[in-house]
């Protein structure tokens, strides 16, 4: 069959899910001629699992994507159904936004943004073959035999690569939501020399709203006022829907356990490793057999659909078993299942094959992003897509790569974890994964990352001016509370006594009052006569800075120590067999992952502090290069 050359691109992105979207937009916005290929244009930005964006730690990622100039946060705000701030009863380090979104509107909005983006072509085509050309570029071939010559390629295939659906004894090749899988690209990658493996994930059923009895369900409302994801969102957002909560029971458990042998997960049909932190309902029932019940959230999929999503109830049991156990749950006794739950198995890679730029160490100009890299979740995918797109564009332009370290962001932590430690199961971002989480809060993502986005060219002059104005106001307000003295008064005394904190007999700086755990800006407002009229976010930043000053200083000191090791770069051509005193296991791990720096080497499992000392001595002998 005859092929034909259909075009040339600087950057080609394979896949238009959450990773592919951010990769394509960032590359095009950095003035690279870009194409994004998708099996079905109507599946751009699809949310095949939960109709939500954000969540614990994931909300941090969305804020960081936005601060760098990415699109996920803005689009989530535009398609908002309900917004909640999670973990409000805990410290600010773990506060995370979670938005319930209109999934079809989100997909349509993202598709339209791709269509309107300068330098970007959205093309419906299945890429079936990838090969290296003699001049070091890449040649992509579609199922229709069109060929595209590309300087760089980003693979963001999600769960489509070799996708296979499982529902009980039924199994067939498919991508999510009944869309064709990418059936040929995986074999082409393996022929190229890219090693793949199998992971799996699952999604719950969708049920008809009119068939659900809401009368005895717990109502879960959104927060007021709504805090947007994007620092660029100025329009007032509103909650449009309620979510509801129900629970499984002993009857639910009995039906599942009576049919557990029909689960492909327990019957041995599924080879892929599933996500530990998002298990199927049958997995939860088996692993936590002592629990009397499990919570589920009944969430709307959009304003113009009657479909509801059963969050927390993914399953791969046969359809008739699913129907039986749904009908044991309060509110779902007569529910009509519009789409049954299913498990999906797919091809991905070991991310230790990648550099911190997300470029393959052994294949120059080839990048991976999202679930292809062994992660799970829309937010993790979008974060990787953004970084892969930026670095592919910088490579085309002959510029230095863009790398975020662990102390700069959750994005940096996510990528460092993947490429340094690997992923034996689908990787999910959690606040506990960051050792610097007190300074990596979702509320200060703009302070940490917007200067990078501006320097790259992804943040406009207008937005950067608003950002710098905000930072100046924070600085001025911090100076004001540090210099303002509050005199003793009955009004102050009443506040202090009511809050069960010690009274004062002499003047006290406002900053020292704000530091007290029992007090806050709002509580002190009646005696703060010179309080300026500022955005609430500015007061929030000042209050956190004041209250956590000591802890923040400790973390910044730890960051300084870490960054000293990050600047000690290891030679790219180092032969670890020649490093005297290095243990065999450490040498093998180092040779496989090829860390960029001593800091990255220190985080590799199997590399001990003694091995790091040996590497430092080696660098001193050969004259180690420093990253300025």
What are the DSSP calls for 36-92, one per residue?
EEES-GGGTT---S-SEEE-TTHHHHHHHHHHHT-SHHHHHHHTEEEEEEETTTS-G
Spatial contact of 103 and 302, defined as CB atoms under 8 Å apart: yes
Q: In the predicted model, what is the mean pLDDT of the chain? A: 94
Q: Does this chain's domain 206-343 share its CATH topology with 567-626? A: no
Q: Is the pLDDT of residue 516 over 90?
A: yes
* Burial classification of residue 500, based on how many CB atoms lie within 10 Å of its CB (0-12 exposed, 13-18 middle, 19 or more buried): exposed
Q: Which fold has domain 567-626?
A: DNA polymerase; domain 1 (1.10.150)
Residue for token pair 């001193």:
620
In the predicted model, is pLDDT for residue 337 greater than 90? yes
pLDDT digits (tens, 9 = 90+) for 181-231: 999 999 999 999 999 999 999 899 999 999 999 998 999 999 999 999 999
pLDDT for position 277? 58
Look up the CATH number of domain 206-343: 2.40.30.260
pLDDT tens readout for residues 349-407:
999 999 999 999 999 999 999 999 999 999 999 999 999 999 999 999 999 999 999 99
Q: How far apart are CA 344 and CA 167, in angstroms?
A: 9
Q: Which of 218, 221, 213 is nearest to 245 (CA)?
A: 218
Residue 447 has pLDDT above 90, yes or no: yes
Bond prior to 175 in cis (omega within 30° of 0): no
> Do 72 and 22 contact (CB within 8 A), yes or no?
yes
pLDDT value at residue 169: 93
Whether the CB-CB separation of 572 and 355 falls below 8 Å is answered with no
Q: How do the domains of the chain map onto residue ranges?
A: 4-200+346-456, 206-343, 471-547, 567-626
Mean pLDDT of 95-102: 98
pLDDT the model gives residue 481: 96
Q: What is the pLDDT of residue 147?
A: 98
Question: DSSP character for 421?
Answer: I
Give the separation between CA 321 and CA 315, rounded to whole angstroms: 10
Q: Model confidence over 476-494: pLDDT tens digits?
A: 999 999 999 999 999 999 9
CA separation (Å) from 195 to 123, 224, 249, 354, 557?
A: 27, 48, 43, 12, 40
Architecture of domain 471-547: Orthogonal Bundle (1.10)
Angle at 393 between CA 387 and CA 394, to 5 degrees: 90
561-592: per-residue pLDDT in tens?
899 999 999 998 899 998 999 999 999 999 99
Assign domain 4-200+346-456 to a CATH class: alpha beta
DSSP for 306-346, written as a single string: -EEEEET----S-HHHHHHHHTTSTT-TTPPEEE--EEEEE
Joined together, the tokens standing for residue 363 give 């294949």
Which residues are within 8 A (CB) of 498 and not within 5 positions of it... i.e. 6 or more apart?
none
């Amino acid at each position: 069959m005859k092929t034909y050359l259909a075009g040339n691109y600087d950057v080609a992105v394979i896949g238009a899910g959450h990773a592919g979207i951010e990769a394509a937009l960032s590359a095009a916005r950095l003035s690279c001629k870009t194409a994004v290929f998708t099996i079905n244009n109507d599946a751009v930005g699809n949310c095949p699992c939960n109709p939500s964006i954000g969540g614990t730690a994931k909300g941090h990622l969305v804020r960081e994507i936005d601060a760098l100039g990415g699109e996920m946060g803005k689009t989530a705000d535009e398609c908002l159904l309900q917004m909640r701030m999670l973990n409000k009863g805990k410290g600010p380090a773990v506060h995370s936004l979670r938005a319930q979104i209109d999934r079809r509107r989100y997909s349509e909005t993202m598709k339209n943004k791709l269509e309107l983006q300068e330098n970007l072509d959205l093309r419906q085509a299945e890429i079936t073959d990838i090969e290296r050309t003699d001049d070091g570029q890449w040649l992509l071939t579609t199922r229709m035999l069109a060929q595209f010559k590309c300087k760089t390629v980003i693979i963001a295939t999600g769960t489509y690569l070799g996708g296979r659906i499982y529902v009980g004894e039924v199994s067939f090749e498919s991508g999510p939501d009944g869309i064709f899988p990418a059936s040929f690209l995986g074999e082409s990658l393996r022929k190229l020399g890219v090693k793949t493996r199998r992971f799996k994930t699952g999604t719950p059923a969708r049920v008809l709203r009119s068939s659900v009895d809401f009368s005895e369900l717990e109502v879960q409302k959104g927060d007021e006022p709504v805090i947007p994801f994007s620092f660029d969102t100025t329009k007032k957002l509103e909650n449009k829907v309620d979510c509801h909560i129900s629970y499984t029971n002993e009857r639910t458990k009995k039906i599942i356990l009576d049919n557990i042998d029909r689960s492909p997960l327990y019957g041995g049909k599924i080879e892929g490793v599933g996500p530990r932190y998002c298990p199927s309902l049958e997995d939860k029932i088996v692993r936590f057999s002592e629990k009397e019940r499990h919570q589920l959230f009944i969430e709307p999929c959009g304003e113009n659909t009657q479909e509801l999503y059963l969050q927390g109830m993914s399953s791969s049991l046969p359809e008739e078993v699913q129907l039986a156990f749904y009908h044991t749950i309060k509110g779902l006794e007569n529910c009509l299942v519009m789409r049954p739950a299913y498990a999906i198995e797919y091809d991905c890679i070991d991310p230790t094959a990648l550099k911190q730029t997300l470029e393959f160490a052994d294949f120059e100009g080839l990048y991976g992003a999202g679930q292809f890299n062994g992660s799970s979740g829309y937010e993790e995918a979008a974060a990787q897509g953004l970084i892969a797109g930026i670095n592919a564009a910088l490579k085309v332009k002959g510029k230095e790569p863009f790398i975020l370290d662990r102390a700069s962001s959750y994005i940096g932590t996510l990528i460092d974890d993947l490429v340094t430690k690997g992923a034996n199961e689908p990787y999910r971002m959690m606040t506990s994964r960051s050792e610097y989480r007190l300074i990596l809060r979702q509320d200060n993502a703009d302070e940490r990352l917007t200067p990078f986005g501006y320097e790259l060219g992804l943040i406009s002059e207008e937005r950067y001016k608003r950002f710098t104005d905000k930072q100046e106001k924070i600085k001025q307000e911090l100076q004001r509370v540090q210099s303002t003295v509050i005199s003793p008064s009955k009004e102050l005394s009443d506040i202090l006594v009511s809050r069960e904190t010690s009274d004062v007999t002499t003047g006290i700086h406002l900053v020292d009052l704000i530091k007290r755990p029992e007090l806050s800006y709002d509580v002190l407002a009646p005696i703060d006569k010179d309080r300026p009229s500022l955005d609430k976010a500015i007061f929030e930043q000042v209050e956190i800075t004041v209250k956590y000053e000591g802890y923040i200083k400790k973390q910044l000191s730890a960051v300084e120590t870490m960054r000293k090791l990050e600047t000690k770069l290891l030679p790219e051509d180092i032969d670890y067999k020649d490093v005297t005193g290095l243990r065999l296991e450490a040498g093998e791990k180092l040779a496989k992952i090829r860390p960029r720096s001593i800091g990255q080497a220190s985080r590799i499992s199997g590399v001990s502090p003694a091995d790091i000392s040996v590497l430092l001595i080696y660098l001193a002998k050969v004259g180690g290069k420093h990253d300025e």
